[in-house]
Amino acid sequence: MLRGSLFAALFVFLLAPVQAPGKDLSSEGIFKVGNANPEPGIPKQYHLDPQTLNYKLFPKYKLEVSQVEVYHLQFQSPFKSKHEVNNLVHGEYYLPPGAKNAPATVVLDITGGNQALSRMVATHLASRGVAALFIQMAYYGPRRPPNSKLRLLSPDLNHTFLAIRQTVLDVRAAVAWLEQRKEVDPTRLGITGTSLGSMIGALSAEMEPKVSKVVVLLGGAGLVDGYFDHPYAKALSGAFVLFGGSRNQVKQMLSPVDPLTRAENLKGKQLLQFAGRKDDIVPASMAEALWEAAGKQEIHWYNCGHYTAAWYFLEVVNHIADHMKKAPPEK
């Protein structure tokens, strides 16, 4: 049954007729981000200074069956890397039909970054009444310099740390853009990510007070405990130890980008996790580590691996939509 539903969803997503958007929301303008005051519990590198950013929003298409309208969004990154093309954030805004006071979420992609999964998630959420803004992380898609092999994740840790910092600040800016949309309920803002995107998403949510809902799909925290002895990392960690390094040194080195470090910041938010008991890419222990550190909130376990989790797609995205529609937590 799940297989049939999944392939039906894929068919609708890929082959449904499209048409021009009905009510054209094309616009160019500005939006404000940041906070002039210190942000308790947020490290300096993730503090978003107050600034005004330019944006452009223009139509792509409208899905005839669901009546979801899709727009392309561009805005300046609040953090400037040395690659100019990477400093323009690209996104796709999925607008539910008749959206009014709608919950909204930023959507972040998987490591491979081919965008198909995140577009499916955003499309389905919008068809369920949740405005979804899929944004490209640093060095993904059109943000990658031409003829370059640069990625967000790199053996160059300095590059990786800066790219993660930029992506977190970009996500914070995207949340600010959503908050200022008249069709969006500013009390029901979320971040939804899958795999790598879920870990960047959790980290971003920890740094953004405006976010009330967080979805971590096939992600977790505790990078060193999860990967130091992992078969995929054994050669690298073994070489590090051989040259006098230790597990604790790696923990200290990676702590600024590990969602575990500031997981306490998620306790006042509504966290929803989905994890695979047989996941060999993001071990189940990492999902459990985040769950425990963030206050043992809602987690759903599936008897699957990282990729076979696809069979549960419809069940999961329907659950995400319901989660985003909930009343925000009381303060």
Place of tokens 């809602």: 298
Round to whole Å and give the CA distance between 304 and 218. Answer: 11
- Domains of the chain by range and CATH? 2-222+258-325 (3.40.50.1820)
Q: Are 222 and 212 in contact (CB under 8 A)?
A: no
The reported pLDDT for the residue numbered 114 is 77
Round to whole Å and give the CA distance between 237 and 35. Answer: 39
The reported pLDDT for the residue numbered 15 is 40
Q: Are 258 and 222 in contact (CB under 8 A)?
A: yes
The reported pLDDT for the residue numbered 20 is 58
The reported pLDDT for the residue numbered 112 is 79
Name the DSSP letter for residue 127: H
Q: Which helix or strand (DSSP H or E) is residue 224 part of? A: helix 223-227
Place of tokens 């979801």: 68
> Strand 213-217 to strand 184-194: parallel, antiparallel, or no bridges (unpaired)?
parallel
Round to whole Å and give the CA distance between 266 and 290. Answer: 10
Q: Are 74 and 28 in contact (CB under 8 A)?
A: no
Q: What is the mean pLDDT of each run of 10 residues along the chain (331 residues)?
A: 45 51 75 92 96 96 92 97 97 96 97 86 97 97 92 90 98 99 98 97 98 98 80 55 64 92 97 97 96 98 94 96 94 69
> Strand 27-33 to strand 18-19: parallel, antiparallel, or no bridges (unpaired)?
unpaired
- Helix, strand, coil % over all residues of the chain, rounded to 5: 40, 25, 40
> Strand 270-276 to strand 213-217: parallel, antiparallel, or no bridges (unpaired)?
parallel
| Main-chain phi, psi angles of 104, to 5 degrees | -145, 150
159-168 residues labelled b (16+ CB within 10 A) or e (exposed): bbbbbbbbbb
The reported pLDDT for the residue numbered 152 is 92
For the entire predicted model, the pTM comes to 0.91
